A and B are shown apart, each in its own frame.
Chain A
Amino acid sequence: MRKHGVNILLFIIALFVLGGMNMTLNLTNTKKLEVSEAEKRVLKQMPEFSFDKLFDGSFFSEFDEYFADNFVFREKFIKLSASINNFRGISASGEVEIFAEVSGDQFNSQDEKVTLKQENLDGKKINNDSASDAIEKAMVEANDLDNKGTLSRDSANTNGTNTNANTNTNDVNNNVTNANNTNSITATDTKKTEQGTDNSENITDNIQATEEEQGELVNYTLIIKNTAMETFTYKEEAEKFYADAINQFQKRVNQNPERKVNVYSMVLPSQIEFVKGEKYKSLSRSQFEAINYLNSCFNSEITAIDAYSALKQRSNEYIYFRTDHHWTALGAYYAYCKFMETTGRVPMPLESFEISKAEKFLGSLYEKTCSTKLKENPDTVFIYKPFVKSDYKIYENNGTVLERNVINMEHAKGFNKYLVFISGDNPLGIIKTEVKNGKKILVFKDSYGNAFIPYLVNHYEEIHIIDPRHYEKNAAEYVINNDIQDVMFLNYSIVISYYNGYAKNIIKVMK
């Protein structure tokens, strides 16, 4: 016994201690709703028992996820696992690391992408928006209360303003449950893409998805010294698809010859375009060429704002975050200047802004890579506050209206500090300002737009903001009904460069 005692004892202790803790923790309190801030998702909840789920096996697979997602010391173990992974090799010449991910189109509309479809206790469904709203609230609450983002399922539902059962019950859950399993993710995505094509056929008969070469796009994230950046590649067909969508939109809103609507396109290069060091250039294709090609596909009525050259001139400055895939407000400022100049206006000088700071920001690329180099060098979010007073309302798809400040400093204390800019991506936001010049602009944007919008506050009476991934109504009619004169399409080059998902969203909001 003495001889083998240690081996047996250690094994039994590990199994029974960790096992016992998990059983008491996860099998007794199954009602909790936990949010993982780093992952921006709700942790899997205990599946509800039903014979259907039992027989098709989903009860067991969901239980596995529940058990893993709520494992004791999960956050500590995740960090530990990242440090174990550091031992896998050496960063070439001590400064470069690369992370790869095989993933499908991540820029589809929200319901195709995220899942937070939860069944509530009554068996009703709350839709994506309210669930994600609940997450956002939970995150803010978590910061206030420092309660680690835990809240009961019931309160999530109340926050989520219980709504109509979303008809979108297709297998969105799969997207999350299988997120590790790249194959199935891609499978779902292809299916979704096909559906997308079907839907949009009637208005876009000249836009066709091209046949795919076998294989997947591998997204690389590169860490050079302490700066993370996504690599870039593009397909001309995808650029053209996007341009055609905007061309159509331009025609659509300019059907009345008496009312001219200006349409602008601004595509922002991502950080890797300006990487120092020739050799890293080979990792990425030229965004300059991609953007030029895109611009050549626009019809003559569309004005392309050359933000590229403005950013290129300033590429030595802090115009991109090092730990996040976004640009900084300073980068957005230079693009704003270019927009003003192109449209014959004078931008506000940088010195005239009051500056706030949110320090120790670890962004999305840190979360993706868990790199210690990034962790040791967090970003600072600089905020240039608009000086005109404004009133900002967010309209959720479920009818909820939220009042926020354009600069929402509550998020400066939070986890994702980039949310200080217009509180993140929402289906529709309207800013009404005290600039009483009667000018109205609608900005279709991805998250790059968030840092840009605050500068417009000083120039427009009304700023309408639509995120085409989340907006569900007809945006072309919206432009006409609200008598909007300027429409701007603003996004970073990666969302439109390879897949058609983002552009399809624009087609979707034309219908």
Chain B
Amino acid sequence: MVFSSLTFLYLFLPINLFLYFLVKNRTYKNFVLIISSLLFYAWGEPVWVSLLIFSSVIDYIHGRIVEAYRGRWQSKAALASSIVVNLLLLGTFKYSAFFAQNINSLFSIKIPYSEFSLPIGISFYTFQTISYVVDVYRGEVSAQKSFWKFLMFVSLFHQLVAGPIVRYKDIAYEIENREFNLGRFSEGISRFVVGLGKKVIIANIAGEIATIFLSEKASEMTVLGSWYGMILFSIQIYFDFSGYSDMAIGLGRMFGFTYKENFNYPYISKSATEFWRRWHISLGSFFRDYIYIPLGGNRKRHILNLLIVWFLTGLWHGASWNFVVWGMFYGFLIIVEKILMSKVKIKVPAIISHCYLLVITIIGWTFFYFEDLKQATNFLGTLFGFNNRPLVNLNLSIYFMNNIIFFIIAIIACTPLIKWVKNRIDERFIIYNQRHIHVYKAINIYKYIVVPILNFVLLIICTVLLVGETYNPFLYFRF
């Protein structure tokens, strides 16, 4: 199930909230969460829910062994075995066909392989369980004694299928001790609704337009049309993903869990290095803490470590070479940036570094969008004017004007402008708090009346648009 579906919003979530707050005892609340999470997962993957449970059992046991034998060889063995099992799961279900195909074509042999349908979220939850066992091994957190609580951590529907990658140690305390709090619940609602809006109002519409310009035949494309399409795809992927993270964080807050932020306005970065500190933070930090630093970080074999990390980052996004190219592209840029930073001491004007980042992101997304590398390079040719395509055509200019308000709003929403305005208001709130009673009142009305109404309107607009998406006329039906 996905958050941005009518079934989730108007069937699953109300029932889930109702049951969760109906039962008093935290043990029962945990059960409500487990059952509903498993159902949530089963909605998309009725069979692979068994895999999820299997993975939880395995890592629960591993965690216990690692802790019980701390300091002895058994502990190390359990850690190794946990990592191996998790990677095997991921390898089998996500990469086996890809590896087999490549080996087969490389050595022209025929290793049989079966194409599994990729179990949703497997990339996320295997990473969560790996981080759990490693953290227990490192002594950063103690192992969970209760299997049910552990299962709840792994299956928690908030972050199960699309992240963020939540580390056990970050919510270990809340699993045991979370309290219901109206303020947090209300914050969670606001966050969830904003995330839903990002997904439904911005990402879906951007995706709809992007598809039109990106799926055209190369011989029909125009230079600016390809830019427009890829910019909209960049908008789509950011709002889709960060909207989903917002909804996860919001839901977590409603139920008393605190998940870390996953995005921090990536498109305002000035370098590839900075971009990856702002984009999918939970993934970047996973690779940093569990691969890059254990490999030696920047102390030894620095370049090689970076290459490994970026190869894996690319591959993690999908079992296809274009994702590897995408990952390595960033790896390469980050290495070049590091070298330049240490050697050249010239200050580049901010505007140039912003432009640089935006152009490379767009090149990057090209490899992400087109699975076929030939198509991707051909598209880049059009993008940079090598394919002898016209600059613009009438379709594009009409389309652009027809969607210009949306486009401007989407671009503004990529920047922290709205957040900046909000912060200014909050600052006023603190300064004037006692002294100016009318300002205090006005701000109270804004915070506790206006914002809630805006949230409500946003939710209804999203619902209306989601229903609108089901409108699906058949033009050529029988007449």
Contacts and interface: CB of A to CB of B under 8 A. Distances in A.
A and B are partners in one complex rather than unrelated chains: yes
Interface of A: 1-8, 10-12, 14-16, 18-20, 22-23, 38-41, 54-57, 59-60, 63-65, 67-69, 71, 73-74, 77-78, 80-82, 84-85, 87-92, 96-98, 100, 102, 106-107, 110, 113-114, 132, 136, 176, 179-180, 182, 213-218, 220, 222, 279-280, 282-283, 325, 364, 367-368, 370, 416, 418-419, 424-425, 447, 450
Given A4-B183, A38-B473, A11 B402 contact: no
B220 A77 contact: no
A354 B148 CA distance: 80
Contacts of A282: 393-394
24 contacts: A3-B182, A6-B449, A7-B189, A7-B455, A8-B186, A8-B189, A14-B456, A55-B46, A57-B46, A57-B47, A64-B6, A68-B466, A71-B10, A73-B467, A78-B467, A81-B467, A82-B468, A84-B461, A88-B402, A96-B398, A215-B220, A217-B217, A283-B394, A418-B479
B479 A39 contact: no
Query: Which of B189, B375, B479 has the most C-beta atoms of chain A within 10 angstroms of its own C-beta?
Result: B479
Contacts of A216: 215-217
B418 interface: no
Given A132-B478, A215-B215, A416-B479, A19 B405 contact: no
Contacts of A102: 211-212, 215
A135 to B, nearest CB: 8
Interface string B202-230: 00010000011001111110000000000
Nearest to A279: B394
B190 A7 contact: yes
B403 interface: yes
A81 B465 contact: yes
Given A132-B478, A425-B478, 12 more contacts: A7-B452, A11-B193, A11-B455, A11-B459, A15-B17, A18-B10, A64-B7, A68-B5, A78-B471, A88-B403, A90-B405, A364-B473
Contacts of B470: 65, 68-69, 71, 74, 78, 180
Contacts of A98: 395, 398-399, 402
Contact of B372 (A23, A41, A73, A214): A214
A57 B220 CA distance: 38
How large, as a class, is the contact surface on chain B?
A: 35 or more
Contacts of B405: 87-90
Interface string B172-191: 00000000001101100110
A215 B218 contact: yes
Contacts of B448: 2-7
B346 interface: no
A63 B453 CA distance: 31
Contacts of A15: 9-10, 13-14, 17
The 5 closest A-B pairs by CB, nearest first: A81-B468, A215-B217, A7-B452, A4-B186, A77-B467
Nearest to A21: B10
A8 B66 CA distance: 43
A368 B189 contact: no
B457 to A, nearest CB: 9
Interface string B342-386: 000000000000000000000000000000100100000000000
B23 to A, nearest CB: 17
A41 B212 contact: no
Contacts of B18: 16
B474 A63 contact: no
B131 to A, nearest CB: 29
Contacts, number: 241
B189 A11 contact: yes
Contacts of A180: 469-470, 472
Contacts of A113: 474, 476-477
Contacts of B464: 77, 80-81, 84
Given A6-B449, A57-B46, A41 B189 contact: no
Contacts of B460: 14
A64 B402 contact: no
Interface in B151-189: 182-183, 185-186, 189
A107 B15 CA distance: 44
A279 B397 CA distance: 12
A419 B400 CA distance: 36
B467 A92 contact: no
A67 B6 CA distance: 7
A65 B448 CA distance: 36
B451 A7 contact: yes
A110 B398 CA distance: 34
A222 B397 CA distance: 13
A19 B14 contact: yes
B296 to A, nearest CB: 42
A218 B398 contact: no
A350 to B, nearest CB: 25
A11 B474 contact: no
Contacts of B466: 68
Contacts of B477: 40-41, 113-114, 132
Nearest to A103: B475
Given A98-B399, A280-B394, A425-B479, A78 B468 contact: yes
Contact of B406 (A2, A10, A89): A89
Contacts of B399: 98, 100
Contacts of B11: 19, 22-23, 67
Contacts of B44: 57, 60
B119 to A, nearest CB: 11
B212 A40 contact: no
A98 B478 CA distance: 25
B472 A92 contact: no
A65 B470 CA distance: 8
B118 to A, nearest CB: 13
Given A15-B10, A368-B473, A57 B45 contact: yes
B401 interface: yes
B220 A68 contact: no
